[in-house]
Structure 1
Amino acid sequence: MSSEEKNAAPAWEQRFRAARVSLPDWADDAPERALYVSNATGTYEVYAWDRASDTHRRVTDRPNGTTDAELSPDGAWVWWFDDTDGDEFGVWRRQPFAGGPDEEAVPGVPAAYSAGLALGRDGTVVVGTSTDDEGTTLYLRRPGAEAVETVYHHAEYGGVGDLSHDGALLAVDHTEHGDAMHSAIRVLRLADGATLGELDEVTGRTDPRGVACLGFAPCDGDTRLLVAHQRRGRWEPMLWDVVAGTETELTIRDEQGREFPGDLSAQWRPDAKSLLIEHEYEARSELFSYELASGELTRLDTPRGTVAGATARPDGTVEFLWSSAAEPSAVRSTAGTVVLRAPGPVPPGSVPVEDVWVDGPGGRVHALVQRPAGEGPFPTVFEIHGGPTHHDSDSFAAGPAAWLDHGFAVVRVNYRGSTGYGQAWTDALRERVGLIELEDIGAVRAWAVESGLADPQQLVLSGGSWGGYLTLLGLGVQSGDWAIGLAAVPVADYLTAYDDEMEALKSLDRTLFGGTPEEVPDRWRASSPLTYVERVGAPVYISAGLNDPRCPIRQIENYVGRLEQLGKVHEVYRYDAGHGSLVVDERIRQLRLEIDFARRHLARRPAAGDQG
């Protein structure tokens, strides 16, 4: 499409077509060499950026796009993950930073789902793999060696945490205890494979708490590991010296000396004497610098909205990817500049979000609301986020903005199971999977109607992945509440999905349900959309990726087959990719089909206040 055609397209399409860039990741020992992902060509691909000369080069060029990539510490190589048509099953390849032929990065490591990658300064490489048959395996290639060896293996899901700065130690995030929602950490000495330390706050506890590796200190011989923990009911950072065996919980308070109400994450600053802190609370985020010796916390200047990633540079500045619901993203610096903006026109802005709190059966539910121009009640889309351990935020999104352009209000609900509201809120999603989230969504739906925002005759339940699952489940469980359902890459038949999905998700599902389908069959049936398909009264639109390893196609076909047998109104769109698409034209096509489906079927229903 020419630039003239792009500019002539409606605003909602321009938002999709406008080029975007991710936060650049830079090489530890060559900070002027960086990588980022962009859709500048119409497909999301990996780009190398020589910051000294300000030259940009596309590294990958694949029909279905590429997003997973990493720079070697010296900046000499770009590593990228090569799967098949979005199925997430593949191998790591590498290419010289300046360009050249690709090569298999670590021969001897079999194709698998990725479970992480760690590249050491001395040439040490650790590749994490996950397969249905083998579980998690971490392969080690030592400096100068051609052969690989297995350094870690377990049937439960795990992954690469981090290599120490000198390549001597490896941190492994694992769930050997069987609770996929709360990881443990093991640190191995690579010289002999010995375990130096273990942080496990699940085994033997009635109140399981997670820990997560945030990275070793960036200095040779420094055995401090930055860790996230949940000891006080939220994510906070601490230091664990794995050789000394000491733990130092960090007491981080705001400018008034109060505890922060949301989750805190951290990363090392290059001097290893301070941390970059991100505070996430009520769908927004902010940044701070924290001095380890003095405990001094300094707020960094970021606009109100969402920081989707941040990195501390060697010169003392911090670069961050920021946006709000009304303003598109850009890579900014605490120096007050825009570091990197995608080429071409900036996409049109959108409508700011309003914060709404609604009393639900499990506590107050936070929702983000956007209103189109005019007076309500409006046809309203409940856009349900995936995850489930994720949350909607005050950030720029082309999908909700498109619905607003078409006269719909948009409501996004951070139901129980969402992150950012404390461990108890996230961990509440157990055993009654899906039904718990629908209770919270239902409470917000009732508020939307009672407040005059939403037309009760024109309510659309929509979402992708876990949001698609909740859409199909909601159409059956709350069959009288929704006029239309739009489900993208959903779980539709949970028992079949469990058989076919990737091992990492099987592990999560066993944790959520408290057992396998054979062990607790009633729970699985109660949470499967297929169980309630006879109750579905609203027209249903489903889109599905033929190569999706997360919400596989067979279980969707089972659900569609029952819709057909029952004579339910439905349409299905199948596309040749995985769990979503990295191709801009495909994303536009899918949303256009959803909007068309909703408008056609809502046109047949009376609006609020109409007779008959």
Structure 2
Amino acid sequence: MTESNGSVPHEGSMPDWEKRFRAPRVSLPDWAEDAPHRSLFVSNATGTYELYAWDRETGDQRQVTDRPNGTTDGVMSPDGEWIWWFDDKDGDEFGIWRRQPFAGSGDKGDKGRKGGEGGEGGEPVLDEPAAPGLDPSYPAGLALGRDGRTAIVGRSTDEDGSTIYVSRTGEDPVEVYRHRESAGVGDLSHDGSLIAIEHTEHGDAMHSAVRVLRMDGSALAELDDTKGGTAELGLEVLGFAPVDGDTRLLVGHQRRGRWEPMVWDAASGEETDLALAARLDGDLSAEWYPDGSALLVVNSFEARSELWRYDLATRGLEQVPTPKGTVSGATARPDGSVEFLWSSAAEPPVVRSTSGEVVLDPPGMKAPASVSVQDEWVTGPGGRIHALVQRPAGVTGPLPTVFDIHGGPTWHDSDSFAAGPAAWVDHGYMVVRVNYRGSTGYGREWTDALKHRVGLIELEDIAAVREWAVSSGLADPDRLILTGGSWGGYLTLLGVGMQPEAWALGIAAVPVADYVTAYHDEMEALKAMDRTLLGGTPEEVPERFEASSPLTYVDAVKAPVYISAGVNDPRCPIRQVENYVTRLAARDAVHEVYRYDAGHGSLVVDERIKQVRLELDFAERHLGR
């Protein structure tokens, strides 16, 4: 909390759970391909997550953006001269790209400024519109050319669907792609002659096809795994080879039931199967080493990850040493070293290098450690369910237990550091996280299983893990909290309505609460996802939307419910939350609502701490310990 004068409490008087939120963090630095000493990273050092420029040769760091609700979307130009960042309004994700020189205005103490007009005395514009002529939109990918003047800009709006433009400095933007279904920019070839896009023209927003366009918008090649088989399979663009004139594209595919990379030559059509699935378990992603001779492979398996180097000439596979836990991002540097952002449930995140050094260590307090996660495998109606369990050290059950449900739904909880679950553990709760059907990391069939019975499938898996937690003696059946954010918030509200006897409390952050209204108000890309998940629009399949909507079951809710929501949220819009709250209030159901001025969550540390404190207080008042 802040003190009466608005300052942050002294570190010595601050509880560990709050320190984990306040401790300065940094993202994995993104570096300019042709100027690798210039990097861009995100940090919460000022109390708000913002972009920072870092010159590794001089050691200078400069805050690039400074906005009340924070900024995290930024891209470096290949030559390292420009930083592009996305400027929306208070977290609504609808805006334009701006750019500023890497060196800023020349004053190292200056922070980035928002706006498109010059300052007093004719000083240069620091944050100019980067793609003049393009109206505000939701972002749908961005790729910058190494000529310093070309950008491929993906856009999404309710009116136009998905559009992609070639934007050149001093010229009007040229449209090269348009479709009603969702699509986005994947990459621009090293020589700037080809554009790779992911599209869902076939209508399945969960499984993209890949198309390579020439700069005039004409199609060079198409790769589409959604046709000709018994199941629709997805593809993803992982990047063009980093060599001039090279038309090879690294593509992720699901042909063997899970994600793995292959190399596709867009000019010749030749596909090179790397056969990595026969050598490594789990989902596999990859990126090119800077000289194009090898791939850096990320292997995500059973909530943890490893790094491997794959030599394209010899097909040799060599493990890149990392501690046990989760690699949230990794990049191969020109000198052959690998930098990666690593953490575990017990150990806070750190940016490391295979050279042995900590790459970027922010000053200030360090986040206290938490407790390790334990793996539990529970038999469920659709197969084995992986649950991650954290318990207070030295305490035996039965314990008050928080089922903290992840969002997405195409996401998964992992053995990585998370300040939210750690706060519950500090307060004496056991935390259980469930990688239900719909989660990634356990194969395509597991991820795709929730179609048409949206929400119902996930709750079946959560119920199976709940039964295990209670029957094992670890969880107190009378003190079970269901909570989560985004899709996890949706499952929370659905759960307390469909399983009213199972839960003592429901705590939902930025949830879907009224599925029909949410569909009509949300951003276009999410409408496409909902049509895929449910098999149509609310008008086409009303029975499915009704069966999957928390509003349908609101009158059955018995547990006290706490809801937090961002008033500018384009993903889980505020109107549908208000509809649900109105129904709770109409029957005097016990509930509390917290509305805040941001979008789908907050990038402001004080705000996030406030929300966690309100959740902990709600649980204490209604449940005790």
Q: TM-score range by the shorter chain?
A: over 0.9
Is the CA contact (8 Å cut-off) linking 1:465 and 1:489 kept in structure 2?
yes
State the Cα RMSD in Å: 1.0
- Does residue 213 of structure 2 align to residue 213 of structure 1? no
Shift of 1:429: 1.2
Shift of 1:237: 0.4
Give 2:153's match in structure 1, choosing from 127, 135, 143. Answer: 127
Q: In the alignment, what sits opposite 2:311?
A: 291
Shift of 1:4: 6.6
Give 2:387's match in structure 1, choosing from 340, 354, 367. Answer: 367
Give 2:141's match in structure 1, choosing from 108, 116, 132. Answer: 116
Q: In the alignment, what sits opposite 2:53?
A: 48
Alignment of 1:72-471 (within 5 A): 72-100=77-105, 101-122=126-147, 123-142=149-168, 145-190=170-215, 192-252=216-276, 259-373=279-393, 374-471=395-492
Is the CA contact (8 Å cut-off) linking 1:6 and 1:17 kept in structure 2?
no
- Aligned counterparts of 2:314 and 2:503: Cα–Cα separation in 1: 55
Is the CA contact (8 Å cut-off) linking 1:64 and 1:85 kept in structure 2?
yes
Residues 82-131 of structure 1, C-alpha deviations (whole Å, 9 max, x = no match):
00000000000001111121100010011000001110112321111100
- Does residue 64 of structure 2 align to residue 38 of structure 1? no
Residues 326-346 of structure 1, C-alpha deviations (whole Å, 9 max, x = no match):
000010001111101221121
- Does residue 556 of structure 2 align to residue 530 of structure 1? no
Cα distance change on mapping 1:12 and 1:55 into 2, 3 Å: same
Residues 59-99 of structure 1, C-alpha deviations (whole Å, 9 max, x = no match):
00000000000011110111000000000000000011111
Alignment length (residue pairs): 598
Residues 500-522 of structure 1, C-alpha deviations (whole Å, 9 max, x = no match):
00001000000000111111110
Where structure 1 has 5 or more consecutive residues not aligned to the other structure, the ranges are 608-612
Residues 407-451 of structure 1, C-alpha deviations (whole Å, 9 max, x = no match):
000000000000000001001010000000000000000000011
- Aligned counterparts of 1:435 and 1:341: Cα–Cα separation in 2: 44
Residues 184-219 of structure 1, C-alpha deviations (whole Å, 9 max, x = no match):
0000011x3221110111135431000100000001
Q: In the alignment, what sits opposite 1:610?
A: none
Where structure 2 has 5 or more consecutive residues not aligned to the other structure, the ranges are 106-125
Is the CA contact (8 Å cut-off) linking 1:306 and 1:393 kept in structure 2?
yes
- Aligned counterparts of 2:480 and 2:586: Cα–Cα separation in 1: 26
Residues 237-296 of structure 1, C-alpha deviations (whole Å, 9 max, x = no match):
00000001111111126xxxx532210100000110100000000000000000001100
- Aligned counterparts of 2:9 and 2:345: Cα–Cα separation in 1: 26
**3-state SS of paired residue (2:155):** strand
Q: In the alignment, what sits opposite 2:505?
A: 484
Shift of 1:167: 0.4
**3-state SS of paired residue (1:277):** strand
Is the CA contact (8 Å cut-off) linking 1:545 and 1:574 kept in structure 2?
yes
Q: In the alignment, what sits opposite 1:500?
A: 521
Alignment of 1:600-611 (within 5 A): 600-603=621-624
**3-state SS of paired residue (1:433):** coil
Is the CA contact (8 Å cut-off) linking 1:252 and 1:295 kept in structure 2?
no
% of aligned pairs identical? Answer: 70
**3-state SS of paired residue (1:544):** strand
Alignment of 1:579-594 (within 5 A): 579-594=600-615
Q: In the alignment, what sits opposite 1:57?
A: 62
- Aligned counterparts of 2:9 and 2:517: Cα–Cα separation in 1: 47
Cα distance change on mapping 1:3 and 1:339 into 2, 3 Å: farther
- Aligned counterparts of 2:313 and 2:223: Cα–Cα separation in 1: 24
Is the CA contact (8 Å cut-off) linking 1:7 and 1:14 kept in structure 2?
no
In structure 2, give the amino acid aligned to 1:596: D
**3-state SS of paired residue (2:488):** helix
- Aligned counterparts of 2:558 and 2:137: Cα–Cα separation in 1: 41
In structure 2, give the amino acid aligned to 1:574: R
- Aligned counterparts of 2:280 and 2:472: Cα–Cα separation in 1: 32
In structure 1, give the amino acid aligned to 2:369: G
- Aligned counterparts of 2:71 and 2:451: Cα–Cα separation in 1: 34
Is the CA contact (8 Å cut-off) linking 1:546 and 1:552 kept in structure 2?
yes
Shift of 1:145: 4.3
**3-state SS of paired residue (1:441):** helix
Residues 173-194 of structure 1, C-alpha deviations (whole Å, 9 max, x = no match):
000000000000000011x322
**3-state SS of paired residue (2:47):** coil
In structure 2, give the amino acid aligned to 1:483: A
Give 1:19's match in structure 2, choosing from 21, 24, 43. Answer: 24
TM-score, with length taken from structure 1: 0.97
Alignment of 1:531-610 (within 5 A): 531-603=552-624
Q: In the alignment, what sits opposite 1:516?
A: 537
- Aligned counterparts of 1:3 and 1:514: Cα–Cα separation in 2: 49
In structure 2, give the amino acid aligned to 1:501: E
Is the CA contact (8 Å cut-off) linking 1:74 and 1:121 kept in structure 2?
yes
- Aligned counterparts of 1:204 and 1:558: Cα–Cα separation in 2: 43
